[in-house]
Chain A
Amino acid sequence: MTIGPGIELGNEYLSARLAPAPEPACAPEVRLVISHDQFDTAARELRNAGARFITIFLAHTPARTLTAVLALSGRLVLLRAPLTAGLPFQAAELGGWWPAARWAAKELLESELGNASPTPRLTKPDADLLRPTVAGLDVFTIPYGPVRSGIFEAIQFQIETGGEDVPRLQTRPFFKHRGIEARFAGLRPDVAVHVAERVAGIASCAHAAAFSQAVERALGIQPPPRARAWRAVHCELERMACHLDVIAKEAETTALYVGQARFQILKERVQRLRARLTGSRFGRGVIVPGGVRADGGVGLDEICSELDELERDLVRDRRLFLGTASMTDRLIGGGHLARGLVEDYGAVGPVARGSGVSTDGRHERPYGDYDRLGVRVVVRREGDAMARINVRFGELSESLRLLRQAIDHLRRRGGELHTPLPEFGTGAACGWTEAPQGELLIWVEILDGIVGHVHIASPSLRNWALFDHAFPKDVLTDFAFIEHSFGLTPAGADR
């Protein structure tokens, strides 16, 4: 059964099919309460209807509830199955037939089983434990990481190669697991947002905004319009910095050193602008549940003139970059990802958009100011590393446009920056943003004004599952290009 574009799949439809008792939730979140033996059938039904898997976890309030979050034509569907006792083995079932759910399900089971988990464990990696799978006389295994060459975050790739081609690659995350989700519990929302900012530092604003939106939705409040516009400004600047970083790293791998320097200069200028706006080069300490803490430290006209200058240089550097054959030759056709594969793995962000999958949290489920800003989603069909870089170039221009528009809104909107939170509010909800790496979703539970259980569905973790399949025709020396073209952060994935 397929649902064509434009056909709305209403609550009624799902309600009738799955016979649930919907929980109250604010749009576009749909909650379906089902019994745990219905869980698998319901998930299959939704997958057939074209749903994209986001995450699966155990919610803790009001009772232990196995919750799967799926995205279905512009709304979130939360499948909720109360678990009175026992272990969430339904998750393992789901991970068995849905590639997108495999890692999330494994993580959930391992956290429940603890030391009784079957080995090898996803969440407790051992750098020395190699498990080669390809048999052959000349095939050898390279453990690349967790101590990387260069200044990169810790992650390990087990590369099996005969010297040139890469028949199999296994990504092993969780070397950086800091147990940060547990750190949220017991804090006030305005303090817990500091933790959210430190989940993945390079996407601090996206995490702070997603967490804040979850809190706001759970407590049923709206941040004032001026705060929403400021959030868009901080998040788009962050996206620009991340995309410029990816492009600079690609230039470095082809030894295009002037190009690398040029894009590093652009990135540094964005970081300095953010430092002047917020006092932190990563935009920290500004976005809080309820709104933002302060106006930017720089006048709006000054931001605009800085953006104009950035755009002028960016346009020239982009033309040069895309016209340098030594650069584009390495990227075109490299790390090809077929559209079907991307959909199976529920990939998000530039990785998905480079393979023709038009998914963007800002467009699918507009949050904050984005329903007024109107995001144009940049999509390329080729599916190779070049396409992912082209998506980023397209999004840089789009970010500049959105920034100017958001600044325009700020000029016209006076008023408050912060809506106070109800003091002893209780609730639970999802918040989401489109981080530079892809769609980020945070589930937050609040009891009497104190944050309880938090679950983070990281775009990096979801996209990294796909990295194992990114070497269909490529050789070992293409590794760095393909890795950079993904542009992910282990800190976000490992939490």
Chain B
Amino acid sequence: MLEWILRGLHKGRVTTRYPNCPEPSPDGFRGHVEVRNETAADASLAEVCPTGAITVDARGRIRLDRGRCILCGDCVRARPDRFTFQSHYETAADSRAALIAGVTDDEHALESTREALGRLASGLRRSIHVRHIDCGSDGCEEWEIQALWNPYYDIQRLGFFLTNSPRHADLLLVTGPVTDPMREPLRRTWQVMPEPKALVAVGTDACGGGLHRAERVTAGGVDQVLPVDVYIPGSPPAPIAIMHGLLLAIGLLTPEQVVA
């Protein structure tokens, strides 16, 4: 056992200092898609997206819904003049509307959700117990959430703890587009959590269904079933992106505040 301890100490500190210091992402990392030039687009632009995340309105303005974007890069390859990958991690948003890039947000609606989140955050203490429920993810969101407790990210230093019972949980992380058999377990898990509580949708599948259409077998996003407080898009979102979303949920960061 002593050897293990020495082995552990030998490595020294590997933990990120995020959010006190920015965490640089590797070059070429596909963090999110940015629209370069929003205006005067032709309608055929929407066809390059396999999930329907890109739409062009009658005035030729491009809207990119990050809640549906799976970061496949088809648009960036087809139209590098219009779309480009950004490598930074911080993509979480506090409303579904804020995930849509390219149009001016409905400021009023945004303001009210932000206020609600602020009230919620003030009710949560700095010791946050997190519960996770899988509603049909592809499995990599779970890996990235688990990674938050590994020595590189060690989210426990920020006061986040995993709990096995929803009755002890403050935050519920939901992954996946919500499949039919998981609707009821999800609703019940949320119901037994004590107030104040927040629901975080992790991954594009949970934010807006991603590749999965809203149809017989899936609900096409968590907000079709329960109200979502924070959306973390990405397919899957990197651990730092999830950490950013969690800090947003408890009010340690605001959506405008970007560390990187």
Q: Which residues of A contact B (CB under 8 A)?
A: 124-128, 146-154, 174-180, 183, 187, 191, 194-195, 198-202, 204, 245, 256, 258-259, 261-262, 264-265, 267-268, 271-272, 275-276, 279-282, 284-285, 297, 316-317, 320, 324, 489-492, 494
Contacts and interface: CB of A to CB of B under 8 A. Distances in A.
Nearest to B164: A149
B72 interface: yes
Given A146-B185, A194-B72, A199-B138, A261 B151 contact: yes
Given A179-B216, A179-B218, A265-B151, A154 B136 contact: yes
B211 to A, nearest CB: 6
Contacts of A195: 211
Interface string B133-166: 1111111111111110011100000000010111
B176 interface: yes
B5 A177 contact: no
Main secondary structure of the interface of B (DSSP, over half): loop
A176 B176 contact: yes
A442 to B, nearest CB: 15
Give the residue among B137, B145, B213, B238 with the most A Cβ atoms within 10 A: B137
B157 to A, nearest CB: 14
B212 A183 contact: yes
Q: Which 4 A-B pairs have the closest CB atoms?
A: A201-B140, A201-B138, A149-B164, A264-B150
Given A124-B181, A149-B164, 14 more contacts: A146-B182, A147-B133, A174-B181, A177-B136, A179-B215, A180-B211, A201-B236, A204-B140, A256-B4, A258-B7, A264-B152, A276-B28, A279-B85, A284-B71
A176 B176 CA distance: 9
A127 B177 contact: no
Contacts of B177: 178
8 contacts: A146-B134, A175-B179, A176-B182, A198-B235, A261-B8, A285-B71, A490-B134, A490-B139
A212 B132 CA distance: 34
Given A154-B134, A275-B26, A178 B218 contact: yes
A152 B3 CA distance: 30
B228 interface: no
Interface string B195-218: 000000000000000111101111
Contacts of A267: 150
A491 B135 CA distance: 10
Contact of A202 (B8, B140, B176, B189): B140
Interface of B: 1, 3-5, 7-8, 11, 14, 26-30, 50, 70-74, 85, 132-147, 150-152, 162, 164-166, 176-177, 179-182, 184-185, 189, 210-213, 215-218, 235-236, 238
A183 B139 CA distance: 18
Nearest to A154: B134
B138 A491 contact: yes
A198 B27 CA distance: 24
Nearest to A275: B26
Contact of A127 (B133, B166, B181): B181
Contact of B7 (A153, A194, A285, A320): A320
A90 B5 CA distance: 59
A201 B137 contact: yes
A144 B70 CA distance: 32
A147 B142 contact: no
A191 B70 contact: no
Contacts of A265: 11, 14, 150-152
A358 B11 CA distance: 37
B218 A245 contact: no
Nearest to A313: B11
Contacts of A492: 139
Given A154-B134, A191-B50, A280-B30, A285 B185 contact: no
Given A178-B212, A268-B150, A285-B30, A150 B162 contact: yes
A153 B70 CA distance: 20
Contact of B4 (A152, A198, A259): A259
Nearest to B147: A268
A317 B10 CA distance: 12
A154 B135 contact: yes
A449 to B, nearest CB: 16
A126 B181 contact: yes
Contacts of B235: 198, 284
